[in-house]
Amino acid sequence: MHDFRYEAFKIDLLRNNRMIIEPLFLPAQHTSGCQFYIYRGDLECSIAPGNKRHKLKYHLQQASKKNKSILATFGGPHSNHISAFVAQCKHQGLTPLIVVRGETWAELTPTLRQAVALGALLFPCERVDYKLGLGAKIKKTIDEYYDHQVYWIPEGGAGAEGVLGCLDWANEIYSLSHDKSFHLCIASGTGTTAAGFAASHFKGMTVFSALKGASTLTQDVERQCQDAGLTINATIEGFDESLHGGFGKVSAEQLSFLKDLKKLNPNIPLDPLYTSKMVYKVNQLCRWGKWQHDQTLFIHTGGLQGWQGLPSDKQVY
């Protein structure tokens, strides 16, 4: 099954230490004739791998320009965004403050324990108020307590700054890709990363939402691009049929698939909530004969720490 052209390409990229694109072999691939690659965003940065560092890039620059030393954001108790946000703040000598979804916790999750160990301040938030984001009552309370000296970053690093950071990332990947006609596959939460890639030099992409509501996905991406002053260059289609029980959940079918995928790609771990669900769906489409793209590039957006929130009987890597 291995194609030596793939291996030579991978070795060349590793030698140049510029970026890592590897072949990804899918269980159903032999029935489709398609070729798949994966951009290893999970290997980019040790403290904030994947898309997280790029979404935070311009937010951190804005905080610096405004001389803010306390940065605040929103996230769930297992959030990849929280993990990267706290690590970046610690690295730059800033104080991270997190509004955490959920009123109480019997004990802190591994993600939150790590955040506290790195100096993060935690504020629990009722779910109803949490949904209001930057309009939440708890934000107003925190601003008043800290005399309005807090720089706020939307959940997931969203906003125009997040989109612009992902645009930079997308164009960097494009400039170093060996095939400019790659069809992109991107997993989506807030849609920020997808919006950045939609405005890049890539011409076609499929977005796989981790949330229900793909019917409005294209409109959401368009809105985020417009808010960032960008124009969409790519054709976009979206899926949300591979939720596997809902956001933050995994299914027995998904875990079985990942075990098969691991046999074919033993050195390419996928996160449980985003990239793996995307690859699962594409493999399913291949098996059905419905994947029509000859050269596909998956974007690995990191998030491997998400496995910490799953019990031992659901661990794959």
- The tens digit of pLDDT for each residue in 6-55 reads 343 443 444 444 468 999 999 998 777 789 999 999 998 888 889 999 99
Q: Do the first three CATH levels of 4-46+163-314 and 69-148 match, i.e. the same topology? A: yes
pLDDT at 104: 67
Residues of the chain with pLDDT under 70: 1-19, 104, 213-215, 241-242
CATH number given to 4-46+163-314: 3.40.50.1100
Q: Give start and end residues of each alpha helix (H) in the chain.
A: 4-16, 52-65, 80-91, 110-117, 127-130, 137-145, 160-176, 192-198, 217-227, 252-264, 275-287
Domain definitions of the chain by residue range: 4-46+163-314, 69-148
pLDDT of residue 317: 92
pLDDT at 26: 96
Q: Distance between CA atoms of 247 and 314, rounded to whole angstroms?
A: 16
Q: Under a CB-based contact definition with an 8 Å cutoff, are residues 48 and 87 in contact?
A: yes
> Can you give the pLDDT at residue 133?
94
Rg over CA atoms, the chain: 19
Rounded Cα gap, residues 101 and 74, in angstroms: 7
pLDDT at 19: 60
Task: Pull the structure tokens for residue 257.
Answer: 């698939």
| Domain with residues 69-148, CATH architecture | 3-Layer(aba) Sandwich (3.40)
- Tell me what pLDDT residue 22 has: 92
pLDDT of residue 12: 42
Residue 246 has a pLDDT of 75
What is the C-alpha separation between 303 and 48, in angstroms, rounded? 9
pLDDT at site 215: 67
The residues facing 100 across adjacent strands are 75, 124
> Quick check: helix, strand or coil at residue 230?
coil
The pTM score is 0.88
- Which residues have C-beta within 8 Å of that of residue 173, sequence separation ≥ 6? 19, 39, 299
Would you give the end-to-end CA distance of the chain in angstroms? 23
